[in-house]
């Protein structure tokens, strides 16, 4: 097989992974130009599979440590012999993707593996910056966008999308023993988080927290819009589509009366088609509408490090917080291995 044929076969694997693993992004990506769509599918496939390995795998700590090795090898130009890793390495080389960006994703997944708790909305945004806003920033890099204002607005969009996901998945996360709603909101409502995890129920207080989170998401969607309207013209329909499709998930949660415990909100194919059409219209209108002043708003403090990294204003070194998180995970992994080894010796 020639190198070109091999690259095409690898890309086909990435397309297949997104087709089944991220329906919302797959729909929005249809409106992106091919030169952005293909690397963005690689990016989402890599992020999706890494996230699934941590969230759904039997050994989340090992999954994070393996992801670190995958990134090390990709950035050294020696990827693992797997289609997505080979594609990801090509994407890094073609687009000069700063290492600090996938490292931020790695840190967010490390927080999941160590079951970190989030007590304030700012802490939830810290987490959302690493698992979602960073993807928006990496998408900007793929589009050739490196200025701070548009990067900041991409972060707003990523934060909004992650808050929407959290609002939709409160029940599913509780089944996994996780809470991503700010725990100080539970304290304000007089609800014990541990009791909620033992017996999740669509309480009025949980519905109110969900509504509150979606209001914050809506604020961020609106803050993101001037950045979408200032992207390269061919990219605007696809990113407007992502904005409307994910916001539509929030609308579906509202349509269920904010009950995210007894079922999971979904949006149908016809709605997605409607949002795709709306996105094309909005992209066209953006060529004649004036720039909005909010394009120049400062980045949220939780995402400023991402803007610095993508704009080339960050030191090319691994962050102390990531180093600390990985060290904690290695210590936990070693302790578990030693414990299992001791059990095996005793049983022998």
Q: What is the pLDDT of residues 261-304, one digit of tens each?
A: 999 998 888 898 899 899 999 999 999 999 999 999 999 999 99
Helix-helix angle 148-168:204-228, to 10 degrees = 160
Return all residues near 208 (Cβ < 8 A) that are at least 6 apart: 189, 258
CB contact at 8 A, 23 and 242: no
CB contact at 8 A, 91 and 14: no
> Looking at the predicted structure, is the pLDDT value of residue 51 above 90?
no
| pLDDT interval class at 22 (50, 70, 90) | low
| Residue 78 CB burial class (10 angstroms; 0-12, 13-18, ≥19) | exposed
Helix-helix angle 236-255:204-228, to 10 degrees = 170
Neighbours of 215 (CB within 10 A): 12
Query: What tens digit of pLDDT does each residue of 164-175 get?
Result: 999 999 999 999
Strands (E), the chain: none
Helix-helix angle 60-75:320-347, to 10 degrees = 130
> Looking at the predicted structure, is the pLDDT value of residue 316 above 80?
no
- At residue 346, the pLDDT reads 56
Phi, psi of 285 (to 5 degrees): -65, -30
């Amino acid at each position: 097989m020639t190198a070109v044929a091999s690259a095409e076969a690898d890309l086909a694997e990435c397309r297949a992974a997104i087709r089944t693993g991220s329906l919302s992004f797959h729909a929005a990506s249809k409106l992106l130009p091919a030169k952005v769509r293909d690397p963005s599918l690689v990016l989402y496939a890599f992020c999706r599979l890494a996230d699934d390995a941590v969230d759904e795998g039997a050994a989340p700590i090992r999954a994070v440590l393996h992801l670190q090795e995958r990134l090390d090898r990709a950035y050294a130009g020696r990827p693992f012999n797997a289609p997505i890793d080979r594609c990801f390495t090509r994407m890094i080389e073609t687009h000069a993707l700063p290492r600090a960006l996938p490292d931020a994703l790695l840190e967010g997944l490390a927080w999941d593996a160590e079951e970190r708790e989030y007590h304030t909305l700012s802490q939830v945004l810290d987490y959302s910056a690493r698992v979602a806003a960073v993807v928006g920033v990496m998408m900007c890099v793929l589009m050739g966008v490196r200025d701070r204002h548009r990067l900041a607005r991409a972060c707003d969009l990523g934060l909004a999308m992650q808050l929407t996901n959290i609002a939709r998945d409160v029940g599913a996360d509780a089944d996994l023993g996780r809470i991503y709603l700010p725990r100080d909101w539970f304290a304000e409502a007089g609800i014990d988080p541990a009791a909620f995890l033992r017996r999740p129920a669509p309480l009025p207080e949980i519905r109110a927290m969900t509504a509150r989170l979606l209001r914050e998401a809506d604020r961020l969607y609106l803050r993101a819009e001037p950045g979408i309207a200032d992207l390269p013209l061919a990219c605007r329909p696809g990113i407007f589509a992502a904005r409307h499709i994910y916001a539509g998930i929030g609308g579906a949660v509202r349509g269920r009366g904010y009950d995210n415990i007894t079922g999971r909100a979904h949006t149908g194919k016809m709605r997605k088609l409607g949002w795709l059409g709306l996105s094309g219209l909005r992209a066209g209108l953006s060529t004649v509408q004036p720039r909005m002043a909010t394009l120049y708003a400062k980045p949220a403090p939780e995402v400023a490090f991402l803007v610095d990294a993508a704009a080339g204003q960050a030191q090319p070194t691994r962050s102390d917080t990531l180093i600390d998180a990985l060290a904690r995970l290695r210590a936990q992994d070693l302790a578990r291995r030693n414990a299992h080894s001791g059990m095996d010796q005793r049983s022998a």
